[in-house]
Structure 1
């Protein structure tokens, strides 16, 4: 479902994106090429001055919430994964090639490229440099907590790459299925 916000702004969605029927996208949202948005995801830029941009080849999985406060922006860099039931709340900038795990909360922060934020974490009010790992269940709410984060490993780099590839495959499969259904109606 795509809805205008009270400022009469409609989402802008690439024709190559795939959006689940039960996803809700509201307002000043831009979804670029080859983005997968799963069931029950909510992407909402409805507060005045808020905006959300989801770059190419991202996946926004089931039950993810992306929202922006008034006069804030959320930018999700290309080839990033927002895993099931995570919350990304603006102001927030997530770099290219990142992974945000199940149930994680990311708010009022900047995340460098190729960073992995694992499951059930909270990252708020900090800048996380590129190629870092926030471990499962960790809470990072002070910049001092960022200095102890480990570097991205080859294993986690392969994992996050495989998640993007799996979701691109899903996107292609769902688009093909929709085309076949359309052809069957003719």
Structure 2
């Protein structure tokens, strides 16, 4: 479902993206090519001056919530995965090739590229440098804590890539089905 916000801003969705029929996209939202938006995901930029941009190759999985506060933006970098049930709340900038895990909450922060935030973690009000890893269930709400995060491992880097590949394959498959209908 694509809806305008009260300011009459409509979502802009690439014809090369696949959006589940049960996803809700409201307002000043831009979705690029090769993006997968799963069932029951909500992307909502309806407050004054808010925006959400989802760059190419991203996947926004089932039950993800992305919302942007008034006069703020959410940017989701290329080839980034927002896994099932996570919440991304703006203001928030997420770099290219990141992974935000199941049930994680990310708010008011800058996440560098190639970063992995594992399941049920909370990240708020910090900058996380590129190539870092936030462990399962961690609470990162001070810059001191963010500064000492470990580097991402090679196996987790490959895991991130495999999730992106799988979801781009889904986009291509669903788009073929749509064309055949």
Work out whether 1:57 is the aligned partner of 2:57: yes
1:128 — aligned with what? Answer: 128
Alignment of 1:84-103 (within 5 A): 84-103=84-103
- 1:148 deviates by 2.0
* Structure 2 equivalent of residue 45 of structure 1: 45
When the two structures are aligned, how many residues end up with a matched partner?
181
Structure 1 residues 124-159: Cα deviation after superposition (integer angstroms, max 9, x where no partner): 000000000000000000101112211011101000
Partner of residue 27, structure 1: 27
Distance (Å, rounded) in 1 between the aligned partners of 2:80 and 2:114: 8
Is the contact between residue 9 and residue 28 of structure 2 (CA under 8 Å) also seen in structure 1? yes
Helix, strand or coil at the partner of 1:108: strand
Task: Please identify the structure whose Cα radius of gyration is greater.
Answer: 1
- Could you tell me how far apart the structure 1 residues matched to 2:23 and 2:61 are? 10
Please list, as runs of the form range in 1=range in 2, the aligned pairs for 1:61-80 lying within 5 A after superposition.
61-80=61-80
TM-score, with length taken from structure 2: 0.99
Secondary structure at the counterpart of residue 107 of structure 2: strand
Structure 1: distance between partners of 2:33 and 2:73: 19
State whether residues 129 and 147 of structure 2, in contact with CA within 8 Å, keep that contact through their aligned partners in structure 1.
no
Query: Bigger CA drift: 170-179 or 77-86?
Result: 170-179
Equivalent in the alignment of 2:112 = 112
- TM-score normalized by structure 1? 0.97
For structure 1, the residue ranges without an aligned partner over 5 or more in a row are 182-186
Q: Aligned partners of 1:180, 1:147: CA distance in 2, in Å?
A: 50
Tell me if the contact between 2:25 and 2:44 (Cα under 8 Å) persists in the aligned partners: yes
CA distance, structure 1, for counterparts of residue 47 and residue 54 of structure 2: 18
Q: Which residue of structure 1 aligns with residue 172 of structure 2?
A: 172
Deviation at 1:180, TM superposition (A): 1.4
* 4+ runs deviating over 4 angstroms: none
Q: Name the CA distance, whole Å, in 2 between partners of 1:114 and 1:100.
A: 11
Aligned-residue CA RMSD (Å): 0.5
Residue in 2 that maps onto 1:10: 10
Q: Give the Cα separation in 2 of the matches to 1:165 and 1:55.
A: 15
Instruction: Give the Cα–Cα distance (whole angstroms) in 1 for the partners of residues 21 and 85 of structure 2.
Output: 17
